[in-house]
Amino acid sequence: MATLLILSISTMATSGAGRFSTWLMCGFPSGSGYYFSQLAEQRADMINEQQTSVPQVPTHWLFGCVPEFRKDALDALMNYATYGDVVKVRYGLLVDLIKRQRGTAAYLLSHPEDIKHVLATNDRNYRRIEFPPAAKRVFGQGLITSEDPLHRKQRRMTQPYFHRQRIVSYAEIMVQKTQQHIQGWRDGATVNVAQEMMQLTLSVACKAFFNMDLTDKTNELTRAVTVGQHHIIRQFRSFIAMLTPEFIPTKNNVRFRKAIRKLDDTIYGIIQTRRASGERPNDVLSMLLDARDEEGHPMSDQQVRDETLTLFLAGHDTTANALSWTWYLLSRHPEVESRLLGELKEVLSGRLPTVADVPKLVYTEMVFAEALRLYPPGYLLSRTALGNDLLPGGITIPQGADVWLCPYLVHRDPRVWPEPERFDPERFNPEAKEGRHLYAYFPFGGGSRMCIGESFAKMEGVLLIATIAQRFKMTLLSGQTVVPEPLVTLRPKHGVQVQLCKRS
């Protein structure tokens, strides 16, 4: 919850003093004694902590790390990591007052062994941070937001549809949908390839998981997803947004409700159509509709909706962003693109790829892996400690503290990745990978909550790159600034505008 709160008070950090004082008096326990005692204790804690072994980032005594996060969250995290492999980041007195708890803080972990400990070795001591209301409204109690024991049950139920044998059957859908999509591209045309990848991966997910063709709705659905992401992150970063009930007709709330209606209408429509048809093709939706609990009761439409929408969104958004960054990087590194094309010519000779080709497209997979290193869609993982925990590095995480694990910065650690900002797929050749710590690279997370769709995403990335790169060259338009935007996932802030050139 503290992670949510430090991000949510950012608007307060820039409010006028009079308005803030009024809010402070109305929003916290009455009387000045509590406030001033907390202030004194906060300052005493700061003095004492200077003598501890855990490096502490110097932050604002009242607002903590909020000003840095508001300015540039990725830059702030990279700066914090320079203080050590385990760094304490105070949330500030304001969050202490909100939670009525002294010394609220997060611990940013940058060493792979400590990360492995939290995600895998001792993962039962950690739970996900509390999600804002908008995230719960979007995902409900789906696989992303649920906690154990519900999460374990959901994962066991869904896992068979992501086994290797099942994923292999999705390959034809991936290639077919890609071929259909790029048939609409014209030589010399300018497109936002980030938007194109969102639409393409959405159509793949709909067909693979739900046996539905929603090609005509991908534009409006991807817009709804984007609105939802912005609203979720807005609640992370604005205390006012988090506390404003959804029924109040603010501009942002109206847009969010409209987006939710669009997503709900689509998903409930799919569910009702399938129920009415009586058909049960061998897909994820049929599995959800046929599932029974311990007492033999089927899932409600709400439960099916939550699981379906979670897969619907997670099954396309992360891969779309990874592919967007891949095309951006290839357009800036012609030597890498040239080698990629050489492999595609050698293996495919101009034909469409199949699942049998994937193991042979070694360099293509290396290109995708390197794009995921530089721009991991899941750029920050957060956990809350359920009890005191001694890390392998010797630091104790106290009960109730948050833990931040940031692939974006770990993937840029020069101790593991020489010249970390350089795009170099050779980092993922077999020799280079040998001896590298498993958790020095974790774009799909790790442990019991590792992304269930990892194999699906990797195969989709390779097949889509192989299909598109043989047909089109993408040239980055000059004059644009392509920067990462850390929303729920890491996406290009203004998209990636490219000019298409059809290959002969």
The domains of the chain are located at 2-132, 140-181+194-376+411-502
The rounded mean pLDDT for the chain is 85
pLDDT at residue 34 is higher than 60: no
Tell me the C-alpha distance between 368 and 232, whole Å.
28
Q: What's the pLDDT tens digit per position in 68-94? A: 887 888 999 999 999 999 999 998 887
Tell me the C-alpha distance between 268 and 470, whole Å.
38
pLDDT at residue 124 is higher than 90: yes
Tell me the C-alpha distance between 227 and 448, whole Å.
30
- Mean pLDDT, range 258-262, rounded to an integer: 91
- Most confident range (mean pLDDT) of 21-25, 135-139, 306-310, 319-323 is 319-323
Which pLDDT does position 503 carry in this prediction?
96
User: DSSP characters for 199-214?
Assistant: HHHHHHHHHHHH----
The model's confidence at residue 38, banded by pLDDT at 50, 70 and 90, is: low
| Bigger pLDDT: 246 vs 185 | 185
pLDDT at residue 403 is higher than 60: yes
CB atoms within 10 A of CB 260: 19
Which pLDDT does position 61 carry in this prediction?
86
Which pLDDT does position 25 carry in this prediction?
30
Tell me the C-alpha distance between 237 and 10, whole Å.
6
Q: What's the pLDDT tens digit per position in 209-226? A: 888 887 777 778 878 888
Helix (H) or strand (E) holding 105: strand 105-109
Which pLDDT does position 306 carry in this prediction?
87
Which pLDDT does position 227 carry in this prediction?
87
Tell me the C-alpha distance between 457 and 121, whole Å.
25
Which pLDDT does position 468 carry in this prediction?
99
Q: Tell me which residue has tokens 């994962």.
A: 155
Tell me the C-alpha distance between 411 and 229, whole Å.
24
pLDDT at residue 350 is higher than 80: yes
Which pLDDT does position 340 carry in this prediction?
99
C-alpha dist (Å) from residue 73 to 76, 227, 311, 361:
5, 20, 27, 36
140-181+194-376+411-502 to CATH, choices 3.40.30.10, 1.20.1080.10, 1.10.630.10, 1.10.3720.10: 1.10.630.10
HSE-CB of 307 using CA atoms within 13 angstroms: 24
Tell me the C-alpha distance between 189 and 183, whole Å.
13
The model's confidence at residue 39, banded by pLDDT at 50, 70 and 90, is: low
Closest Cα to residue 321, out of 250, 378, 280?
378
